[in-house]
Amino acid sequence: MGTPIINQPQVAIMAVGAIKKRPVVIETPHGDSIAIRHMMYISMSYDHRIIDGSLGATFVTAVAKELENFQPRHCKNALACSCFKLQLHFFT
């Protein structure tokens, strides 16, 4: 995991790590268990004079949720599919 560096005049930059299998705790109504899941780190650096920390965190959370729920099986063309396009309305 690393910290992406902003190159001016950029306002923010996001970095993603490699997808690796890691042990995680799964919470269920029947109790907790340890399972192996695919995990990936997402990090974002931004100019705090322009982007509030809450807004940056909201954007990273939205990206993570989109990636977690992405299902390529029903997409014939993943790049043109509406489920692949992220809603970037946070910065407009």
Query: Residue 48: CB partners within 8 Å, gap ≥ 6?
Result: none
Catalytic residue among 30, 38, 48, 74: 48
Judge whether 38 counts as a catalytic residue. Answer: no
Q: Are 2 and 36 in contact (CB under 8 A)?
A: no
Judge whether 32 counts as a catalytic residue. Answer: no
- Active site positions, annotated: 48, 52
